[in-house]
Amino acid sequence: MIKNINLFFKIFIVIFAIIFFILNGTAFPSWVKYKSQQLTTAFQEELFRPPVFLNKISPLIEETEFSPTIDAEFPILIEKPSINLPNVPAEAYENNILELPQFNIKAPIRKLTSSNLDLIYGELKKGVVLYPGSSIPGQGYSIIIGHSSQYPWESGKYRTVFALLNELELGDKIYVFWEQKPLIFEVTDKQIFIPWPQGSETTETVFPPSEEPTLILQSCWPVGAASKRVAIKTVLVR
């Protein structure tokens, strides 16, 4: 009896794994590719990292970096490095564009005036969607949604556009090209939550609107499921 139960569970796990891969096979390669690129970049940075010289003056300090002596009476004001605007891509002359440079992803931003779910799902096949009622990016509180996974038989090339959304880190930059105007947003927070009505949270309760121009990127989480949401908060920096 116990052997039969163990065999049943093994078969169930294998079937579940196969179905999961079939339904989310398009998202998995994106994750593997990104992780491979991360590993390669980290290896190259370590390989070519300049040496850090030991401080021979104070034995209490093991390592130091060169820095100029600052006179307390005449402090040196260090300006923050300027942020260069990205070049406007060719796609931005036909559509408003969201770009995630970390993942080499560009997607048209579709704008709707109706919150009808069928219309939203239809537009998600053509890119990402500026949620109805949201402000134009850079002018207030904006929410952009996109698929993290979708059935292989569904049409459209943006079925996994937000599959790597949870890989964004604090300080990462994303770009929006709205009417050919480049905007730079910086990641400041990330949250995973259970949405209403299953849970008590909404995007606005997780990240309350403020006077600071804010853009929220949101998708289903985990990849292949729709029980939770991952939301990335970014603020306009230029």
Distance CA 187, CA 121 (A): 26
Fold of 1-238: Sortase; Chain: A; (2.40.260)
pLDDT of residue 57: 42
Nearest to 95 by CA among 191, 177, 9: 177
Q: Does residue 65 register a pLDDT over 60? A: no
pLDDT of residue 198: 87
Does residue 222 have a cis peptide bond before it, meaning omega lies within 30 degrees of 0? yes
pLDDT of residue 114: 92
pLDDT of residue 150: 84
pLDDT of residue 34: 53
- Amino acid of residue 173: K
